[in-house]
Copies of this chain bind each other. A is one copy, B any other.
Amino acid sequence: MTNLLLKNVRPMGQPATDLAVVNGRFAETAPPNAEPVDCGGRILIPGLVEAHTHLDKSLLGLPWYRNEVGPRLIDKITNEREVKVSLGLDPRIQSERQSIQSIGYGTTHIRSHVDIDTHHGLAGVEGVLATREKLAGYVDIEIVAFPQSGMIIRPGTVEKMDEALSLGADIVGGLDPCGIDRDPRAHLDAIFGLAEKHGKPIDIHLHERDALGGFSTEEIIARTVALGMQGKVTISHAFCLGATDRAYVGDLQAQLAEARIHIITTAPSSAPVPAVMELRALGILTGAGSDGFRDTWGPYGNGDMLERAMYVGQRNNLRRDDEVEMALDICTFGGAAIMELADYGLAPGCKADAVLVEGETLTEAVVTRAPRKLVLKGGKLTARDGVCVLTAP
């Protein structure tokens, strides 16, 4: 492996310096054989962390899909299950396409929810597992076994989830225990049961709003504490924490902090969202993700986690530079902490997963979102000028 000397580089926007990469990790000093890389005074940040996406369902690379779907969540779920068949969507190819696009934007770690249902079985998980193996060394992929179509309303799904976790899925997923499965007790008992059986963490989608989402949150907290799973449970979306009754939300958040439950937001502009500054003030680990993009749910999104940091900032009305830097921290160190990434960061000894970005300051890098000059994964060049070195299928 080539050792590197990153010259004239500004780690986290600090004054320019030289940074050594030895055996794929940042190091105090470079050996004489290190290859110099002129960074032109650009800012270096650690690899962007995509903490919530859906690699199996993007339509990237296909002819434009004209969206004429109905307004309800269940309309979108049903439509997607059918369109996967009519388009012959291949989760292996789609996940590879999306991952390669993400690498071009500087993402080095991805947590992907992957659909599991009685119609498509484990096809999604098998496809993303194949992509994970193929792209090893370019991007790290975590797989959440995700019952997108419900578990209790579709008997046989829990068994498929169980198989997926045996097959290599890392995390137990879940979805709106009231809103989709209409049986919060059965839904939550099932996913916590799977987590206990496989010794794996949980990351549950919770779109339920206001008191309904609050109720589900309390039930998640209760099970987390009862099973001693503090620090191992994440709630994605958590729209209920964006409720207008801030006293009620404050109480919920205090309980979440005590149970060490993490929050991942996609900072959508059309739904209530958790207030990230409040979460961070309480010590709740907070990450961010693109959610699914360019899929049957909607046309928006591209996997750019600098753009996502901008969305997090805009949605939370973060205007000061220190606040925008916090939004970026959520898209880097925040997600990394939730994913318990070892050796993440720019310090000596950390894995050299990093991105060279354009801008005078971190905030300028976030708001301009210029093509990434260079992306490193374990000290290896994986993208240049916004384009991954790998070619998408």
Contacts and interface: CB of A to CB of B under 8 A. Distances in A.
A161 interface: no
Residue from A299, A300, A311, A364 with most neighbouring chain B CB atoms (10 Å): A299
Interface in A271-291: 271
A253 B299 CA distance: 30
A317 B63 CA distance: 23
A297 B314 CA distance: 12
Contacts of A63: 360
Residue from A66, A298, A313, A367 with most neighbouring chain B CB atoms (10 Å): A298
Given A63-B360, A64-B361, A364-B64, A298 B269 contact: no
A68 interface: yes
Contacts of A301: 367
Interface in A286-338: 294, 297-302, 310-311, 313-317, 319-322, 324
Interface residues of A, number: 39
Nearest to A313: B300
B311 A299 contact: no
A67 interface: yes
A248 B366 CA distance: 39
A270 interface: yes
Contact of A299 (B69, B294, B317, B319): B319
A179 interface: no
A313 B301 CA distance: 12
A349 interface: no
A316 B298 CA distance: 13
Residue from A301, A367, A368 with most neighbouring chain B CB atoms (10 Å): A367
Contact of A310 (B270, B300, B322, B368): B300
Given A299-B363, A300-B310, A367-B300, A320 B270 contact: no
A363 B68 CA distance: 12
A319 B297 contact: yes
Given A299-B364, A300-B367, A360-B63, A320 B68 contact: yes
A348 interface: no
A319 B298 CA distance: 5
Interface in A48-87: 63-64, 66-69
28 contacts: A63-B360, A64-B359, A64-B360, A64-B361, A64-B363, A66-B363, A67-B363, A68-B320, A68-B321, A68-B322, A69-B319, A69-B320, A268-B314, A270-B315, A270-B316, A271-B317, A294-B367, A297-B319, A298-B319, A299-B321, A299-B324, A299-B363, A299-B364, A299-B367, A300-B310, A300-B313, A300-B319, A302-B367
Given A64-B364, A67-B321, A300-B314, 7 more contacts: A63-B360, A64-B360, A66-B363, A67-B320, A269-B311, A270-B316, A302-B367
Interface of A: 63-64, 66-69, 244, 267-271, 294, 297-302, 310-311, 313-317, 319-322, 324, 359-361, 363-364, 366-368
Q: Which 8 A-B pairs have the closest CB atoms?
A: A269-B269, A270-B317, A298-B319, A64-B360, A269-B315, A299-B367, A269-B314, A67-B320
